[in-house]
Every structure is written in structure tokens, then in C-alpha cells.
Amino acid sequence: MSFDKPFGGGQRQVHDVSSLGIVCANCGTAVAELPFMPTKRMDGTYGKIFCRECNRNRAPRGNFRNQ
């Protein structure tokens, strides 16, 4: 499966990570595909990874409001 890039430019590569046993940090759903290949941290975890739905619903990082 592949995701369309938001501003054109073709398809984004998707990595099958189902064999890594990654679950969403928010809802606990198994994550099978990611648009990047995660790497393990020194503590042996992959850090916080979110499923597609939870990632979509997260607030954007940073302060994008006009001040």
C-alpha cells in the first residue's frame, strides 16, 4: 500500500512493520505499515509510534497560531 503525497509528487514508500510487533502509543492498535522504517532506541524500544487514525487526530506540533 502507498500513500499519496499531500502536494503531488507521486507515491510515498510504505514499510511493512507488522513483524516488529509495534502498537499505537495512544490506542494500542497494532501498526502494520509506516511511511518510514523505525529504528530501535538504546533502551530497546521504538519510541512513541501512532497508528494512522491517531496520528491524524493529534494536534500539530509547535505553535502555529498568529501572535
In this prediction, residue 8 carries a pLDDT of 60
What total number of domains does the chain contain?
Answer: 1
pLDDT tens string 2-55: 555 556 666 778 999 999 999 999 999 999 999 999 999 999 999 999 999 999
In this prediction, residue 63 carries a pLDDT of 63
Q: Compute the chain's Rg from CA coordinates.
A: 14
Domain that holds residue 1: 1-58
Say if 52 falls within a structural domain: yes
Say if 64 falls within a structural domain: no
Q: How many residues does the chain have?
A: 67
Say if 30 falls within a structural domain: yes
Say if 51 falls within a structural domain: yes
Say if 38 falls within a structural domain: yes
Residues 61-66, mean pLDDT to the nearest whole number: 63
In this prediction, residue 49 carries a pLDDT of 95
Kind of pairing between the strands at 11-12 and 3-4: antiparallel
In this prediction, residue 64 carries a pLDDT of 60
Say if 63 falls within a structural domain: no
The structure's pTM equals 0.68
